[in-house]
Structure 1
Amino acid sequence: MSKRVNNEPVRAIAERMFIEDGLTAKAIADAVGVTEQTIGRWRKGIQGDISWDDKRKQYLSAPNNIKKVLMSELSDLAEGKQSKLDVKAITEVRKAMELLSDSISAHVVMAVLKEFDSWMASQDPDIAISFLEWHKLFLLHKVQQEQ
């Protein structure tokens, strides 16, 4: 009777290598000591889990990872390298996402609060001053949400 090996720890490492590091099936197979065919089976997803390809798309589209890509692009541009990204397309996608989002950006909130503060100052300067600390706290809250 052969003993069944628990490959879960190896599979989890392989999954991370594919999703977060972007390694190929061959590179992962060589690194963790399994066949490319095993990586291929794991990549499809196990027992109703989504595929590694779908998980990778989700990982890459997370806001913190998009920021990393954009910061890397800015660094390359600052060094005089050619742009690797279609900035116009990124801008259009960002605008579309904002339209679909239920959340309002901190920049928009700040602009509205500034306009409100100006209006309130003409109505009742003392009350306008009392709002300023609350507005500052709310803006800090919004900025933290966007990170």
Structure 2
Amino acid sequence: MVKSNIDKKSIAKDLFIKSRCTQEEIAEKVGITRQTVSRWIREGKWEELRVSITISTEQIIAGMIKQISDIQDGANARPEGQRALTAKEADTIVKLSSAIKKLQNEAGITDIVNVGIKFTNWLRSIDIEKAKEYNELWDLFIKDQLK
């Protein structure tokens, strides 16, 4: 059975995002041209998706917490009586804390994409045609969220 273009596009997208294959490798595996893969990557904003999946909200928060800890460690390493945070350090901690709280309370694109992938995989095992239809709608939704 010949794969439809939608099937090929879905397979190419999975390979690009999850396996880090080159465009040439994807084209060869899926049976399309490298130019088609390149066009799909550009039009579908697959680069943004790959990046958003690569770094999770938890990793971003962990990095921010580490920055706060480093600032506090730096202040604590100063001589007695000079350990108070500077205005710049305090401002940085306030901004980082605010960003952490915001990230904890909002679903990021990574979370959204991960849920979509899990749901698509689940739906595919039940009804492949509905999964294809859902995948098309999901792609439109993600593109809209990346605007």
TM category (shorter chain) comes to 0.3 to 0.5
| Greater fraction of residues in helix | 2
Using the size of structure 2 for normalisation, the TM-score is 0.41
**Higher RCO, 1 or 2 (CA under 8 Å, sep at least 6)?**
2
Using the size of structure 1 for normalisation, the TM-score is 0.41
